[in-house]
Amino acid sequence: MPRISPRVTQRLALAGIWGTGLVTLLILAVIITYVLVKGVGDLDWSFLTTPPRGGTSGEGGISTVIVCTIYLIGLTMAISVPFGLGAAIYLSEYAPDNRMTRLIRYGTEVLAGVPSIVFGLFGFALFVTALSFRFSILSGSLTLACLLLPTMIRTSEEALRAVPRAHREAALALGATKWQTVWRVLLPAALPGIVTAIILSIGRAVGETACLFVTMGSTTAMPTSLFSGGRSLSMHLLYLVMDTNAIGKALATGVVLVITIITINAITNWLSQRFRARMTGGA
């Protein structure tokens, strides 16, 4: 077989990479444009500010659903970020390398691949039934946190491990304790990776449906406390599509969902960049 010249392979590789990148972006653009174009028709102020009528009518807006989603995501993150980070710090900095920690690491990897409905059933059994939190935002958030923790832990642990050993040694040599090293050097340096983990987690939490139907119920009433049930935007979207003919409203809900995710990501990114700029002096 004749040897293909490096110049040709270089061109082919470049074209291939460009091509795949372009196709990916194109698909993404088509989906988002489709949802936006079809959805904005039903999207107006009253849609955002009136509660859904419920039943199979598909009438009404999504006000209570938005509120419930905010509570759900806020509480889920408030639980999963500290616990996820704590576990990641333990695994990467404190845990000895033995059978036990290898087992824990293997366990988190397996859990990261378990389908979400299994977590839903677990949440139903533990939070809804055994702990009597019933169908509530609290049960839903705890279940979501369990679902997200494995990925949170693994991704944050990788980010911490990627910080050069030289930084750890420099800090220790200056008389810093292990915790000061973690807090003042490792966490700031690992922040971009940790933020990515958080953003991906939020995206997944916003998109979950099945495991929430069995832990949060699906009431359309305005939540009044963490023990109220409720439905998130994705759950409402699914319900509109499956049980009603209100496709327009479903797409409008989709628009709100997409905008919500983009906004949350932008805010998270902005916060982390500000923090980093302050810590690093902008380089």
Partner 1 sequence: MGTSEAKIEARRFGFYYGKREALKDVNLKVKEHQITALIGPSGCGKSTFLRALNRMNDTIIGARAEGEVLLDGCNIYAPGVDVVELRKRVGMVFQQPNPFPKTIFENVAFGPRVLGLDRKVSLDEVVERSLRSAALWDEVKDALNKSGLALSGGQQQRLCIARALATEPEVLLMDEPCSALDPQSTLRIEDLMNELKEHYTIVIVTHNMQQAARVSDWTGFLLLGDLVEYDKTAELFSRPKDKRTDDYITGRFG
Residues that bind partner 1 (CB under 8 A): 96-97, 164, 166-177, 180, 184-185, 188-189, 279-283
User: Among 258, 231, 254, 213, which residue's Cα sits nearest to residue 63?
Assistant: 231
Nearer to partner 1, 53 or 184 (CB): 184
Nearer to partner 1, 189 or 237 (CB): 189
φ and ψ of 198, to 5 deg: -65, -45
Nearer to partner 1, 6 or 175 (CB): 175
If you write DSSP's letter for every residue of 78-130 in order, what string do you get?
A: HHHHHHHHHHHHIIIIIS-SSHHHHHHHHHHHHHHTS-HHHHHHHHIIIIIII
CB of 192 to partner 1, least distance (A): 11
Nearer to partner 1, 93 or 158 (CB): 93
128-136 LR contacts (CB < 8 Å, sep 24+): 128/214, 128/215, 133/227, 134/227, 134/229, 135/215, 135/216, 135/217, 135/219, 135/229, 136/216, 136/217, 136/226, 136/227, 136/228, 136/229
CB of 275 to partner 1, least distance (A): 12
Nearer to partner 1, 263 or 280 (CB): 280
CB of 189 to partner 1, least distance (A): 6
CB of 102 to partner 1, least distance (A): 15
CB of 185 to partner 1, least distance (A): 6
